[in-house]
Amino acid sequence: MTAHLPMIGRRGLLLGLTAGAILGRSRLALGAGPAGDSRLVVVLLRGALDGLAAVQPYGDPALAGLRGPLVLPEPGRDGGVLDLGGFFGLHPRLPRLHAMFAANDLLALHAVCGPTRSRSHFVAQDMMEFGAERRLDSGWLNRALAGLPGHETAATRAGFALGSDLPLIMRGAEPVGMYAPSRPDLPSPDLYARLLEINHADPLTGPAAEEGLRARGFTAGLVPPPEQRGGFVRLASAAGRFLSAAGGPRVAALEISGWDTHAGQQARLRGVLGQLDSGLDALRERLGPAWARTAVLVMTEFGRTARVNGNEGTDHGTGSAAFLLGGAVAGGRVMADWPGLGEGRLYEDRDLAPTLDLRAVAKGLLRDHLGLSPAAVAAAFPGSEEIEAKGGLLRA
Amino acid sequence: MISPGHVAALRFGLGPRPESPPPADATGWLLAQLEAPPDQAMPPQDWEQDPSLADVMALRLLDRRAPRPMGEKSRAGVLYDLERPAYLGRLIATPTPFRERLVAFWTNHLTVSGRDGQTAPFIGDYVRQAIRPHVVAPFAAMLKAAIRHPAMLLYLNQAASIGPDSPAGRQTGRGLNENLGREVLELHTLSPAAGYSQADVTEFARLLTGLGVEPVREPRGTVFFPRNHQPGDKTIMGRAFPPGAASIDAALDWLAGHPATHRHLALKLARHFVADDPPPAVVDRLAGVLHDTGGDLGAVTREVVALPEAWERSLSKLRTPTELGVAALRALGAGPEMAAEALRVGNTLGQPLWAAPAPNGWPDTAAAWIHPEGILARFDQMHAISGQFSRKDAKDALDLALGPLASEATRAAVLRAGSNREALTLLLGSPEFQRR
């Protein structure tokens, strides 16, 4: 990947970013990285990832009865999930994440949820990014930047976002960088599919849209051609490049949409999970030696219904899965206080019940990974004193 | 009829803005725009007031006498680059979008194109001076102002046309250029339906000789050069005009008042405001008004507003790329500073502003704009715009931009989208939003 990303924010950030300097400094820093050299990346999955599909609890006896056609074969079978230690299995379109799991770089978190129980994408995404149960004037990652040790004397902005618009999680008083892809960021295959759906019945735009997608190489199932799969991969790869620089930014946010799988979930998830898998692997690769000091939190606003709906899809739910990955992460395991899917175990008799608030994970990362003081962690997540920072996320 | 307010804002306007939502009194809102005082100046960047024709002439002269270094844009070229966003910024922000639609319609009817580098720097002034003041005036006034403007004289080569028997023609051996004469008859006034002949075209071209552009000596600009004028009477469709400058206005007045011209203008207006293939009765009505009022564009515009057919068939017209880009930015409350977005949408979707490929201007039918890659490019462009407004509430934008005109499928898709940005892309990429 050699995607060129022009910078919208401050130009000085990239000065001195020569390959030699990066490598030299990184090699030096390896092993005993100084405090304040850790990297944090937050990846927002907008649209609500079906956690039960991404990290399938194949050991739960109630699973098959709830979601029949959505259940993938057990590990070892043809097209089966990739085993995560005997009860959970990773979706087969996440082979690179599975390799990270094998290298103890990936921690899967299950039955997690954001601050709200709203099933509205917009409310739940906002609250996940505010880091609170109510609206604030800034995002938690922006507030966290203010608490970074050495923040007062730092010459460069510590945080940046990739995409065409600054996500709420990064908005606030703290100045952050912003990078937009030079090529236009195109709609995801799933969004094209929905655009096609609403245009389908139109005698003018419908046939043209269908023909146009075919001409661009989308096949009937809306599988995009290779050159259109790369949006997130490019962004993630660029994030890795920026974060690998010594003295450069340390905190990044990026996002990937296309998770709202109300119909035909199997086909739709394959594409977007594949992008996520390739993108996160590109991030790892680009970070190079800095991967060892990196933690990547991948999270979504809520999960999806435990039961399959009438369109071989799932509707808005509550508990989902999240991932924490990176060389700094104590991975190779699944962290879950598993509520079970059986009779009486579902939240409001429809959703995976959440047993872990993602704020606990985020607080743990701010404290143990970025080295924020207790006061700075509290400032990043106001009004959540009862939610304790999760320990044990990182390698000792 | 569904929501006259939305029809007014879409069919006749440029799409609603948050601070100018669909009007309660739809007809009143439209008619008031016809009476509105002259538009406020919105000068291009780096200009304190709108550039005048004298400014453009001076810049061109400067470019000629002290050319910019190789590889740098001429001063006139820079002006053209600044004029276009200034114009689009006006469209994005305007509180009188119906009036702007009329300006755009007549600018397209009397097309000059920036593809011709000579013409390009004049187009801003052309729109301001030849078109804008005349959208509710007699058509003859607009026609004369447009044909006499340096933009038109250069674009259609009139400045190079010389009567072969004029003193200049005899001395240099140079002769007629029929380009302007032909296009005035074919595109601007009569249309071929009137049945004029090649001889009429040649006679009209002879009549127009002398009209040219003086680039150096004051007063610069449009000048009548008697030495270039073809002597003798000219007969166009049986009507004789004596030699001399006065016959140019006389002929244009006569053409502007011709029944074939009225019919041609009526058809184009009906196609623009009613449907690609408008009912003949509508064309008849508009032609009748033009005939009865001596070509009064104010009167015919009021008649367009009064057409039941213009209100009944909502969303029967496709938005052109520029209309689409402007409507999207208006729906999201963008300011004039986002004109570059609208410019990009037009460039990408095949309608670069003020740069039509030929003197017949941009097509005004859906078939010309909808093709497989074209519709996908619309999706992509709308997605690019939505990316800059991801905090703009999509439901509010939906209610504002389409309201009751949104289909159930579009409404459901917008409200169920997985992110606000996707919701906005679905709104802007919906079949309803492609229309007006």
The tens digit of pLDDT for each residue in B161-208 reads: 999 999 999 999 999 999 999 999 999 999 999 999 999 999 999 999
Q: SS3 of A266, please?
A: helix
Mean pLDDT along residues B86-96: 96
State residue A248's pLDDT score.
78
State residue A8's pLDDT score.
28
Q: What is the pLDDT of residues B305-322, one digit of tens each?
A: 999 999 998 899 999 999
Question: Rounded to an integer, what distance in angstroms lies between the CA atom of residue A284 and that of residue A105?
Answer: 10
Token pair for B77: 């070229």
As a whole-number percent, the residues of chain B with pLDDT over 90 amount to 91
State residue B373's pLDDT score.
83
Mean pLDDT along residues A11-35: 27
CB contact under 8 A, A260 and B418: yes
CATH assignment of A36-380, among 3.40.720, 3.30.70, 3.30.420, 1.10.150: 3.40.720
CA distances to A35, A46, A93, A158, A373 from A251, rounded to whole Å, are 14, 19, 27, 6, 17
Q: Is A186 on the interface with B (CB under 8 A)?
A: yes
Which among B318, B372, B410 has CB closest to A198?
B410
Which among B391, B393, B417 has CB closest to A260?
B417
Q: What is the pLDDT of residues A75-112, one digit of tens each?
A: 999 999 999 999 999 999 999 999 999 999 999 999 99
Mean pLDDT along residues B229-252: 97
Q: SS3 of A90, please?
A: strand
Nearest C-alpha neighbor of B422 from the set B396, B372, B392, B383:
B383
SS3 annotation, chain B? CCCHHHHHHHHHCCCCECCECCCCCHHHHHHHHHHCCCCCCCCCCCCCCCCCHHHHHHHHHHHHHCCCCCCCCCHHHHHHHHHHHHHHHHHHHCCCHHHHHHHHHHHHHCCCCCCCCCCHHHHHHHHHHHHHHHCCCEHHHHHHHHHHCHHHHHHCCHHHCCCCCCHHHHHHCCCCCCHHHHHHHHHHCCCHHHCCCHHHHHHHHHHHCCEEEECCCCCCEEEECHHHCCCCCEEECCEEECCCCHHHHHHHHHHHCCHHHHHHHHHHHHHHHCCCCCCHHHHHHHHHHHHHCCCEHHHHHHHHHHCHHHHHCCCCCECCHHHHHHHHHHHCCCCHHHHHHHHHHHHHCCCCCCCCCCCCCCCCCHHHHCCHHHHHHHHHHHHHHHCCCCCCCHHHHHHHHCHHHCCHHHHHHHHCCCCHHHHHHHHHCCCCCCEC
Task: Indicate the pairing of strand A320-325 with strand A39-46.
Answer: unpaired
Question: Rounded to an integer, what distance in angstroms lies between the CA atom of residue A211 and that of residue B371?
Answer: 9
Q: Find, in chain B, the residue whose alpha carbon is nearest to that of A163.
A: B387
As a whole-number percent, the residues of chain B with pLDDT over 70 amount to 100
Over 90: is that where the pLDDT of A385 sits?
Answer: yes
Residue A389 C-alpha from the chain's centroid? 20
Chain mean pLDDT for chain A: 85
State residue A268's pLDDT score.
86
The interface residues of chain A toward chain B in range 20-49, judged by CB-CB distance below 8 A, are 46-48
Q: Is B202 on the interface with A (CB under 8 A)?
A: no
Q: What is the pLDDT of residues B148-164, one digit of tens each?
A: 999 999 999 999 999 99
State residue A29's pLDDT score.
22
- With bands split at pLDDT 50, 70 and 90, how would you rate the model's confidence at A31? very low
CA distances to A229, B42, B112, B268 from B128, rounded to whole Å, are 47, 11, 13, 22
- With bands split at pLDDT 50, 70 and 90, how would you rate the model's confidence at A35? very low
CA distances to B64, B190, B248, B282 from B265, rounded to whole Å, are 39, 9, 21, 12
The interface residues of chain B toward chain A in range 279-338, judged by CB-CB distance below 8 A, are 318
State residue B296's pLDDT score.
98
Mean pLDDT along residues B221-239: 97
Contacts of A122 in chain B (CB under 8 A): 393, 419-420
Over 60: is that where the pLDDT of A229 sits?
Answer: no
Q: Taking the CA of residue A334 as centre, how many other CA atoms within 13 Å lie in the half-sphere pointing to its CB?
A: 22
Q: Which of A46-55, A179-188, A269-278, A332-341 has the lowest mean pLDDT?
A: A179-188
- With bands split at pLDDT 50, 70 and 90, how would you rate the model's confidence at A15? very low
Question: Rounded to an integer, what distance in angstroms lies between the CA atom of residue A98 and that of residue B412?
Answer: 37
Q: Is the dihedral of CA B249, B251, B257, B260 positive or negative?
A: negative
Q: Is B369 on the interface with A (CB under 8 A)?
A: no
Which among B366, B419, B426 has CB closest to A198?
B426
Nearest C-alpha neighbor of A384 from the set A369, A374, A373:
A374
- With bands split at pLDDT 50, 70 and 90, how would you rate the model's confidence at B333? very high
Considering just the CA atoms, what is the radius of gyration of chain B in Å? 23
Token pair for A354: 């959440």
Q: Which of A158-172, A196-210, B62-76 has the lowest mean pLDDT?
A: A158-172
State residue A222's pLDDT score.
58
Q: How far is B92 from chain A (nearest CA, A)?
A: 21
State residue A11's pLDDT score.
26
Chain mean pLDDT for chain B: 95
Token pair for B211: 């009209």
Over 60: is that where the pLDDT of A22 sits?
Answer: no
Mean pLDDT along residues B264-269: 98
Phi then psi dihedrals of residue A251, to 5 deg? -125, 130
- Degrees (nearest 5) of the Cα angle A337, A340, A345? 115
CB contact under 8 A, A213 and B422: no
- Degrees (nearest 5) of the Cα angle B422, A283, A45? 25
State residue B233's pLDDT score.
97
Mean pLDDT along residues A214-224: 66
Q: SS3 of A153, please?
A: helix
CA distances to A185, B324, B429 from B377, rounded to whole Å, are 12, 12, 10
Task: Indicate the pairing of strand A82-83 with strand A89-90.
Answer: antiparallel
Q: Find, in chain A, the residue whose alpha carbon is nearest to that of B390.
A: A165
Q: What type of residue sits at position B384?
A: A
Q: Find, in chain B, the residue whose alpha carbon is nearest to that of A162.
A: B387
CB contact under 8 A, A209 and B425: no
Q: What is the pLDDT of residues A132-169, one digit of tens each?
A: 999 898 999 999 999 988 777 766 678 888 877 788 99
Q: How far is A166 from chain B (nearest CA, A)?
A: 9
Over 90: is that where the pLDDT of A280 sits?
Answer: yes
State residue A158's pLDDT score.
84
CB contact under 8 A, A262 and B416: yes
According to DSSP, residue A246 is labeled T
Q: How far is B387 from chain A (nearest CA, A)?
A: 5
Phi then psi dihedrals of residue A335, to 5 deg? -105, 110
Contacts of B379 in chain A (CB under 8 A): 187, 192, 195, 209
Size of interface A-B (CB pairs under 8 A): 118
According to DSSP, residue A151 is labeled G
Over 70: is that where the pLDDT of B430 sits?
Answer: yes
Mean pLDDT along residues B253-280: 97
Over 50: is that where the pLDDT of A10 sits?
Answer: no
Which among B379, B390, B434 has CB closest to A165?
B390
State residue A228's pLDDT score.
52
Over 60: is that where the pLDDT of A23 sits?
Answer: no
State residue A219's pLDDT score.
62
State residue B194's pLDDT score.
94
